[in-house]
Structure 1
Amino acid sequence: MSLVSSDELVYNKVADILRQSEDLYKLSSHVEKLEREKDTFDLHVKAELEKHSESLQRGKLALHDSHLKRQKLLNELNHMRSLCTAAHKMVEQFPLISQVSRIYKNCYATQQMIVQLQNLMQETDIIEDIIREDLEHDPTMPNLLKAHFKLTKLRTFRDEAMYQASLESRNDASTTLQSSFSNLNALSEKFDRLIFNYCSNLFELLKVGNTKTIVRVFKIIEAEEASDEMLKSIRNAQSNLTDANEAPFMNLQGSSRQLRNFWSEAKEIFQASVAERFHQAWSNFITQKADLELEWMFDDLQYAFKVLPELASPSFDLARVFAIIYQQCLVNLVKDSISSDTPAAIFLYLINFHKEYRAFYQEHAPFSADEIQPSLEDGSNGVLVKEYTRLFTQKIQEWSDKLFQSSVEAFIKRESEPELDSDGNYGIQGTIIFFQMITQQVNIISQTNNPEVVSTVLRSIMYVMQAMQEHWKTVMKTELQKHLSTSNTPPGLMEYLLALANDNLKCAGFMDNTLLRTFELATDSREEDLRESFGKTVDGFILLSDIGVNEIVEIISNDVKPALATLFHPGWYQSSNMKLIVDTFRDYIVDCIEHMVPGLFDVFLLESSNALTINYLRGIYNKGVTFEGPSAIQQIRSDIALAIRAFGEYMAAEHLKATFEPIEKLLLGMLDAELGSVAEYFRLLKESYWDAPLSLVEVILTNRTDLDRGTIRKMVEIVRQENSNMQQYSSNKPTIFSQITPVNAAPL
């Protein structure tokens, strides 16, 4: 190709592209859309940056203002110190006056401390009386705050006294004071236990409507927290006063108090109380074999989300505090269940409970469950689903193995007849039990409305079923081979094959009735794969049923093998064994019609009649066969009539005609054919049965005794020529002739 022609192709291609004007119009609209989105995004970013800039500026101003105020305060304090220093120079003997003043103040403070120590026992008794009276007469504890106020004053006095004693070098002072404050310490501990007891029974108080006590409890916690915050501020200020000139301000009021961390302890009490309820629920399940019940969580969280926030300061954020506590306990319970020998039903309950838990949050909580840490383990790949799947698969495998082994043992030993159902049909009990268990589990998971669980369980069920199908194929094949090759086998194989065929056809029906309706509950992403696996499993049951029928037919064929070996022999013309063959088939048909499910019996009749046709045609390959023209045709028609009468009691006429038509097309056609008509007969045969073997036709023609050898050779040459001229339809569906091979005879 020349360069010019190549350029022309390029130009033509570009021109063709440019002619697609609608694409250019779409490009313009996309550009406009992107520009609008960019403008909107720019405005949003600009607004957010302005907000952050304003917040940063306000923060800088506030920080600068705090520095100025701190410096001003230090300047004032230094000014006061300067005045004190100047006063020393203005007044003679100022140090002596200052010392006398300090002595007086210390004496007064000591006198006040002695008075307070003398009244300490009385004050503690008053507080105890207040608390006792409320506990005995009013559960709302109206004087609880008053008792706390008085107790706080006594604690402050104790802390200051102990602090001052610690500054002295004498140890006996601290010991004496410690002994004096023993009653106060006991009362303080008792009061704290009372408050924490209310914290432990918070939801019980809410359920009886005692909200006033809860309000007072949280007021006390709030007051303790405020005192702790003040102490932290004092200590922080003291840690920042590093200048020696600022030393006089180190000993600020309140610095002697100890941190109580009341709110932290209260949260620990909340945690312990909720954890105890979870532990009790789990213990009841383990020790008393009771059902695991966690629905009480929803009542508690309803109070935590709706009621408690109105009874306490917003700074406590009680809704989130209890959300974290309950979720932590729920996660811990899940971990405990995984580390224990927990039944699969409990995991299924927990999966359903997590779903209800999330729905509850969406309806009642001021935030999402996903905002709470630790996160839940309830996703499609969560530990609950994985553990339930593992246990379910393990259990169903154990059930199936146990039932399979018992069923196989009964199938192999055949010590008694198979079980009879209410309709008188044979069956194997293990199959029915297995599907009852499957149905029970499917009904349970259907109630969960959890797509991931449904998908996983269905996949496990079908995996186990397909494995069982493969095992049964091996067992059936092995038992049939033993039956056909040796006589030393337990009787009743036909009955057990019939029972197994019945069961597998029922299983296919059970699949449609039990499992198919649950597919709509599975996840959309897996539904197609599940349906494919479902179809494979159903086909497997139907195939097993067909195998059972076919093996019964093989047993029948094996029973009539001696009689089939005499077909078309010289003695056959005087005394045909066809009646014996047909009677054998009829006996098996009678046995099967009594104990075989109706739909399967029709399949059995079709396979049996086909088997009779195949075995009859195989007789052509018997050694020593002769076809004596009209006599052979008459005897063949007589044999076919016997078969039609036997099967005609159960099969429709059109089915019988189609079944025995190959005999008429082949045998009667080739026996009636002459030199001029053999080609037409052969074409009619091949048109109906494209895979009819040429060797079979040659055997019939070669063994005809009503024709001379020269005519026979010419007829064989004609059919060979016709066969080579015919188009072979190897891609067509095989006919009955594909199963006709030499039996008990050497190939031609």
Structure 2
Amino acid sequence: MESLNENSKNGKKVKIKKVFKETYALLKVGGGNKKKEKNVTKPNLKAYLEVGLEKLSGTSTKHNKQKITIKENMQQINNSCLEEQQPTINLLPKFNKVPQINHNNVGTNETLEQVQEMHQFINRLQGILEQDIEDSFSPTNTNNLLFVHNYLLQLELSRDNTMQEACTASQDIINILRSYFIRLDKFSNYFTNYLWNLSKILMPLAKNGQASTVISSIAKIIEIEEAADERAINQNQLDSKKSFRVIKSYRINFFYQIDNSILNLFNEKFKNHGNSLLQLLDNLDFVFDDLILVKDEIDPVFPSNYNILTFYVLAYHRNVYKCIESILQNDPDTETILRLIGWVRHYYIFMEKNLYFYEDLMEPNLLNGKEQSLIDDYLNLVRSKFHEWKTNLIESDIKEFTQRQNSPEFDSDNFAKLPGAPILISMVRQQIDVAMKSASYQLLIDVVNECCIMMSEIQQTWINLLESELQRYLNNQEECADEIIIYIVALANDQLGYTDFIGGLLNQFTSSLPEEHIKNINNLFNNLTNGFFNVATNSINTILDIIFNDLKSPFKELHTAKWYKVDTMGDIVFTLKDYTDECNLHLKSYNFYKLMINMLNRFVIAYLESMRNKAVTFRMPHCIDKMRKDIHSISQFFSQYIGAQELTSRLDVINKLHDFLGTSKESVHLGYYSIRKSYGDVPRKYLKYILSKRNDFDPITMMKINKILKDKAAEAGEYNGERTVFSEIVIKDLEKQKPELMKDVQEAFHNMQNISSRSLRKGKKKNYLSTINNIFQNRNK
């Protein structure tokens, strides 16, 4: 029995030796001393590297600079090995003795010894990798990675060929052979795991400047392994002698590792920032830098048919989509929605501009086609918020404006202001800033439009309130007088603050938006600015309404019997000065100047209207001197605030009326031409009326003057020029007085006709004419 077992063992030994002998020719690299080993190993490694350089030179044509760098680094690895710059090479055992066992007729003990030497060599290779694992970013790793893979590849080839030759042997022999290569199998797995670990950190390696070294080595190894897989597959398909190589599918596994690393990267971002939607969105910006790094550093070192950049772009896109969906599903607020829209728009622009990937090529769409729906939702939220803010804000300001329990606020320049203006500006500024981050020009215009609508509604609210408060004041001055002027001053000042704010926004948009969008925004802002100026103008006019309401009585006294006895114009100047001093302290300069100009215009109109008051009597020539003294007094007041040329121009109409009023009946036509030349729309009836108030013109004279005025007005023709101050004068009451005047004239002429028909003496006729004159003189007193 023992003899049979011994024979069986001897038979197995013979078959194993035969297998090693037949595979010897496939892996023969020599078997002498160290010198011979070096002479054989180095050329093999050199040939391996040269093939690598040759293949690498054709992998990509996109970045010549990167190709040159990679080639230089590979050449450096080659030189490093050939010049024995790595001490580990000299320590390597003669692992190639394994296939020489049968050739040298060595027995079982020597076979085991040589297998042990192979294991020791593998241990040394693994030691090299273990050192590299401790510092994956070491600049020497690229040399070691290619070096170890070169020998690993030869060992695996020896193993595969050995198993190929032993395929017809018994299962026991195959099992023994497999046991010899278990250590090699484990090391191969160890190397593969290390390669995949490196593949998971391609991005950090590239950032560390190792794209042309470590990453290019990874690319070369995958390419070589893929080629070996392809040869094995072809052999299996075409040759009856099947290859024993295990198909590794490095390329597929490599992309799998990248995909997992990208997934883990995004999961980590979501884990750290998922509780804050805005933080999560802000922390997605790394995508842009990463993909540029892939394009510039990683993609060029791989064969072009690997499409590394495309893989990264699509992998990143899938994960970005998940993050965007997560944000959308968590009911984002208005700011987040706009930021999200802006980020997505920037994302697609970046992809197209920098990476040449268009939106329609990347699926799924980040917003699932919901961008317009999100914009509409946002605009609805903006409208709702604006309505809420406007209601609360305007109610608060209206309450303070109408109750006026305290004085309004004053800024550092002592200008009055209302509390709501800064709040409104802040709200609008916030919404526009958020809209600008959306990177959507149309959305920005829509938001600006909503802001303009809200502010326009507020403008109209103030205009209506000014009207109602003025009426309330006129109806009950004692109750409503307190602080009303200073509050209106504050309102007028706020409008200038709004216009400055809108002007700043327009300047900002002009420098950052395309011209075609600027036109739309410019139209919106122009209308809004005009609205603010309109509120300011209404405020100033309301102040003037209050002032001139207080001056009604003094203006009614002008040119009446009382006027000749007292200094009525002095009262008017005193009242104007009192109001002006208050406004000058707290009204912004632009509004104050406008107030004074409008005040002067109001004075001129009130003065012109006062000249045709019912109780007016122009006592010639004394009245002309007194009237000119009045105008000198008012001129001195306004000259403190208005330039001499402007003041003279606006008071010119009064001076010309004084001249016209003082004209003789013989030169009235010249006076008319003079005033008509400067003020083409001066009503003839107005001129006729003030002349009729002269105490030295009788009705007969006035009839002649009226005929002259009519004739000269007809000669001058209809006036179609620019409107003057006379367009502001109300003359309807002149028409009301006309029947009364005509009645007196008709009565006088009736008496004269009776006198003529009775052929009275001339002296008696004069008495009747005197009676007629007395009638008119009594009416004019």
In the superposition, the TM-score normalised over structure 2's length comes to 0.60
- Residues 188 and 144 of structure 1: is their aligned pair in 2 closer, same or farther, counting only changes over 3 Å? closer
- Residues 608 and 490 of structure 1: is their aligned pair in 2 closer, same or farther, counting only changes over 3 Å? closer
Conserved? CA contact 1:274–1:325, under 8 Å: no
Query: Is 1:640 the equivalent of 2:654?
Result: no
Query: Is 1:540 the equivalent of 2:531?
Result: yes
What's the CA shift for 1:203?
3.1
Alignment of 1:477-492 (within 5 A): 477-487=467-477, 488-489=479-480, 491-492=482-483
Which structure 2 residue ranges, 5 or more long, are not aligned? 1-119, 137-143, 164-186, 738-781
Conserved? CA contact 2:554–2:572, under 8 Å: yes
Query: Is 1:423 the equivalent of 2:451?
Result: no
From 707, 717, 728, the equivalent of 2:707 is: 717
Structure whose CA Rg is larger: 2
What amino acid sits opposite 2:571 in the alignment? L
Conserved? CA contact 2:408–2:416, under 8 Å: yes
Conserved? CA contact 2:689–2:734, under 8 Å: no
Aligned to 1:6: none
Query: Is 1:736 the equivalent of 2:725?
Result: yes
Aligned to 1:7: none
Aligned to 2:690: 700
Give the Cα–Cα distance (whole angstroms) in 1 for the partners of residues 131 and 558 of structure 2. 112
What's the CA shift for 1:617?
2.1
Aligned to 1:515: 506
Which structure 1 residue ranges, 5 or more long, are not aligned? 1-125, 158-186, 238-248
From 519, 531, 551, the equivalent of 1:528 is: 519
After superposing the two structures, state which structure 1 stretch, 203-212 or 545-554, moved more.
203-212
Aligned to 2:309: 319
Give the Cα–Cα distance (whole angstroms) in 1 for the partners of residues 518 and 729 of structure 2. 43
- Residues 205 and 338 of structure 1: is their aligned pair in 2 closer, same or farther, counting only changes over 3 Å? same
What amino acid sits opposite 1:527 in the alignment? I
Give the Cα–Cα distance (whole angstroms) in 1 for the partners of residues 303 and 312 of structure 2. 15
Query: Is 1:573 the equivalent of 2:564?
Result: yes
Alignment of 1:452-471 (within 5 A): 462-471=452-461
Alignment root-mean-square deviation, CA: 5.5
Conserved? CA contact 1:614–1:740, under 8 Å: yes
Query: Is 1:597 the equivalent of 2:588?
Result: yes
What's the CA shift for 1:553?
0.9
- Residues 213 and 597 of structure 1: is their aligned pair in 2 closer, same or farther, counting only changes over 3 Å? closer
What's the CA shift for 1:589?
1.0
SS in 2 for 1:569: coil
Give the Cα–Cα distance (whole angstroms) in 2 for the partners of residues 648 and 632 of structure 1. 24
From 633, 639, 656, the equivalent of 1:665 is: 656
Aligned to 1:410: 400
What's the CA shift for 1:213?
8.8
What's the CA shift for 1:498?
1.5
Give the Cα–Cα distance (whole angstroms) in 2 for the partners of residues 591 and 264 of structure 1. 80
After superposing the two structures, state which structure 1 stretch, 387-396 or 713-722, moved more.
387-396
Give the Cα–Cα distance (whole angstroms) in 1 for the partners of residues 127 and 583 of structure 2. 91
Aligned to 1:560: 551
Aligned to 2:203: 203
The percent identity for this pair of structures is 21
Deviations along 1:363-405, one digit per CA (max 9) or x if unpaired, are 5x4x445574138779xx9669947984995567766665545
Give the Cα–Cα distance (whole angstroms) in 2 for the partners of residues 539 and 551 of structure 1. 18
What amino acid sits opposite 1:327 in the alignment? H
- Residues 743 and 600 of structure 1: is their aligned pair in 2 closer, same or farther, counting only changes over 3 Å? farther
- Residues 684 and 499 of structure 1: is their aligned pair in 2 closer, same or farther, counting only changes over 3 Å? same
- Residues 510 and 207 of structure 1: is their aligned pair in 2 closer, same or farther, counting only changes over 3 Å? closer
What's the CA shift for 1:596?
1.8
What amino acid sits opposite 1:609 in the alignment? L
SS in 2 for 1:570: coil
- Residues 441 and 631 of structure 1: is their aligned pair in 2 closer, same or farther, counting only changes over 3 Å? same
Aligned to 2:665: 675
Aligned to 1:689: 679
SS in 2 for 1:573: coil
Query: Is 1:499 the equivalent of 2:463?
Result: no
SS in 2 for 1:565: helix
What's the CA shift for 1:690?
1.8
What amino acid sits opposite 1:716 in the alignment? N
What's the CA shift for 1:276?
1.9
Query: Is 1:305 the equivalent of 2:287?
Result: no
- Residues 486 and 307 of structure 1: is their aligned pair in 2 closer, same or farther, counting only changes over 3 Å? same
Query: Is 1:373 the equivalent of 2:362?
Result: yes
Give the Cα–Cα distance (whole angstroms) in 1 for the partners of residues 218 and 249 of structure 2. 21
From 265, 269, 272, the equivalent of 2:260 is: 269
Deviations along 1:233-281, one digit per CA (max 9) or x if unpaired, are 999x9xxxxxxxxxxx9xx999x99999857855753563354255346
SS in 1 for 2:563: helix
Aligned to 1:25: none
Deviations along 1:41-81, one digit per CA (max 9) or x if unpaired, are xxxxxxxxxxxxxxxxxxxxxxxxxxxxxxxxxxxxxxxxx
Give the Cα–Cα distance (whole angstroms) in 1 for the partners of residues 446 and 669 of structure 2. 62
- Residues 198 and 285 of structure 1: is their aligned pair in 2 closer, same or farther, counting only changes over 3 Å? farther
SS in 1 for 2:719: coil
Deviations along 1:656-686, one digit per CA (max 9) or x if unpaired, are 33333323333x2453234322222222222
Conserved? CA contact 1:648–1:656, under 8 Å: yes
Conserved? CA contact 2:493–2:591, under 8 Å: yes
What amino acid sits opposite 2:203 in the alignment? F
- Residues 683 and 217 of structure 1: is their aligned pair in 2 closer, same or farther, counting only changes over 3 Å? closer
What amino acid sits opposite 2:670 in the alignment? E
